[in-house]
Structure 1
């Protein structure tokens, strides 16, 4: 069956629908601001803990970075990212990373994100919901020495 006939059969032959279906959702022009605090196992601010924020565009099974940035927590344990999400970005995520002061993993710290009032240990980056892009969100972490 030809493509046009198939689209007609499915009710998708309208040029307006075809154009709308091919356009990606418009991204916000204001920056996505991610702030938070990182504490240790005793509830004290943790200085020098690392985080990475990145955007990804998927081409098939291949992730193509649209932006990558890193930061470390200050002496009060606070951190902040600010980034306008580039066009073609499909996913924005945040992930703790090792630094000289605060190593992550078996010989260092385990990391937990605080979501809905409870701690969750994630084995993968935390994806920031698209509905939060262009807004200010707060994500707090606890790093526990192993």
Structure 2
């Protein structure tokens, strides 16, 4: 008897227990400072290891510096990033689904900028567990 060709939930004394598929939903929160220099180098401040995990993120990017900064949001459902300018001593609040990366760049060459990222992330994935 080939137990692995039987439908999930099939019970037979000769078959080992089948893994149970569960959906796990996890929430993650963080507040972290960031800094960068210039308008050429990209400063990644949030990144998802696997773009296959659907992530919903809400947060705030605060700009503490005296120059405007670019904040770029990348999503797995679009090839085009979404870019917003955050004025000096201002903030940007966002909610995006399918988020994969947040990056910043300055708007002036060789000038340093700094700020903070406050973020709350929700994601779900399937986990196979044995009883």
TM above 0.5? no
The structure number with the bigger radius of gyration is 2
Q: Structure 1 length as normaliser, TM-score?
A: 0.37
More helix by share: 1
Q: Structure 2 length as normaliser, TM-score?
A: 0.40
More strand by share: 2
